[in-house]
Amino acid sequence: MELRYLKYSIEELADDKRFFAWILNGEKDQEWKIFIEKNPEFRIKVKRAREIVLSLRDTSNILDEREVLKMWQNIERFDHSHKRKTQTLKIRRSLYWAASFFLILCIGALSYVYFGARDSGYQFTYSDIINHNNEARLVLSNGEQIALKTNNSKILLKNDNKLVINNDSVIDLSKLEVRSGKRVQMNELVIPFGEKSVLYLSDGTKVWLNAGTRFAFPSRFTGENREVFLQGEAYFEVAKNKKQPFIVSAGQINIKVLGTHFNVSAYANDASIETILLEGSVAVRRQTSLGLRWNEVVLKPYQKASFDMQNNEVKVSYEPGADQYITWTEGWLQFSQESLQVVFAKLERYYNVDIKIPGNFNYTQLISGKLDLKKSLGEVMNALDDVAKFEYRMNGDTIYIEQN
């Protein structure tokens, strides 16, 4: 950190872009903190400048969601009618669009309702994420288990039925396929809490798997659909193939797509399944109570479908911050106006810890900013307790929160 900051007035500090970036996004957090520690007389200036920056920053959403939606519909309608007018020789362009659909889907999860195995019609080999040594592992369709050893592992399923782990070990899956019966045999990937992984499926689809996730996939997609099963959170970049739709089954719902990018988060202990779409079109489907047919909700860009498992209801709302739902693939978390409760729940998964919050804890505070998940949990908690008003105590894998 540059010494010239020490000579800055409160005004100059508040107006400094790098100071700004630290206060609002936590950029260079460690450097600032060390700098302040070394120069205690600087602290009061920082405090005042911070108060000014935070109270001048106006990010309130004062326009009602319904109004946002109404205006959007008008704009979309205008767009369509305007396009129709100008669309004379533009058939090629519409093809181009279809090819570049981009979307994000997110299925979220937070109470203790078990879903997954029974509902999606798929039974994972192991009922628990955690095995005795809590490591990421691949369970092949013949039951053979392979430990992945490293965090951020990369697994590639090649066209010739070979599976490559971390550009290193190669497994020939064609030898396993022989014993498969009438049903497509699935391989499973189990990612424990605190880790993540990238998987390339045989059709070219790329899947990022987040902490505490189980994912089942075939070595090759042979059926009518490309069906995979998810419990946890994943981000997909699906290879386009209209003839063979890609279907992600997650608990009581499934998501049908035709070649696009999306994020699904469906943890077993969450009360609702949330699906967020950034671009394109995707159908979120659930079975009717009799299980005879599917009810569908087709999402538009930046819409979120929340499926409440208890009431069996789907609500659709707008989610302007949809990008934030996939920042985990890049190793950081971004929040805007998020409650501490949600932040803690995510940290529990990423760092594989238990965060204990007192019953009388006041959650009204909303958090905005970035957390770097490559940093240690201690560093992340220090950054958080600076912004939010709480104190914490770490005892092994348990963190006790106290109201400040």
Q: Which residues make up the interface to another protein (CB under 8 A)?
A: 10-12, 14-15, 20, 48, 51-63, 67-68, 71-72, 74-76, 78-79, 82-83, 93, 97, 100-103, 278-280, 300-302, 318, 320, 323, 326, 330, 364
CB of 85 to another protein, least distance (A): 10
Q: Which is nearer to another protein, 96 or 114 (CB)?
A: 96
Q: Which is nearer to another protein, 14 or 190 (CB)?
A: 14
Q: Which is nearer to another protein, 82 or 315 (CB)?
A: 82
Do residues 325 and 333 lie in contact, with contact meaning Cβ atoms separated by under 8 Å? Answer: no
CB of 371 to another protein, least distance (A): 18
CB of 90 to another protein, least distance (A): 8
CB of 215 to another protein, least distance (A): 21
CB of 47 to another protein, least distance (A): 9
C-beta contacts of 392-397 below 8 A and 24+ residues apart: 397/352, 397/353, 397/354
C-beta contacts of 45-52 below 8 A and 24+ residues apart: 45/8, 45/9, 45/10, 45/13, 46/13, 48/10, 49/10, 49/11, 49/13, 49/14, 49/19, 49/23, 50/23, 52/10, 52/14
The residue count of the chain comes to 404
CB of 155 to another protein, least distance (A): 21
Q: Which is nearer to another protein, 221 or 236 (CB)?
A: 236
What is the rounded (10 degree) CA torsion for 260, 266, 271, 274? Answer: -10
Q: Which is nearer to another protein, 35 or 318 (CB)?
A: 318
Q: Is residue 333 within a helix (H) or strand (E), and if so which, with residue range?
A: strand 332-339
Q: Which is nearer to another protein, 12 or 177 (CB)?
A: 12
Q: Is residue 77 within a helix (H) or strand (E), and if so which, with residue range?
A: helix 65-86
Residue that the structure tokens 């405090």 belong to: 47
Would you tell me how many other CB atoms lie within 10 Å of the CB of residue 6?
13
Rounded to an integer, what distance in angstroms lies between the CA atom of residue 258 and that of residue 311?
A: 29
Do residues 342 and 304 lie in contact, with contact meaning Cβ atoms separated by under 8 Å? Answer: no
Rounded to an integer, what distance in angstroms lies between the CA atom of residue 374 and that of residue 74?
A: 43
CB of 380 to another protein, least distance (A): 22
Q: Which is nearer to another protein, 21 or 297 (CB)?
A: 21
Nearest in space to 213 (alpha carbons), one of 88, 312, 352, 52? 352
Q: Which is nearer to another protein, 62 or 89 (CB)?
A: 62
CB of 84 to another protein, least distance (A): 12
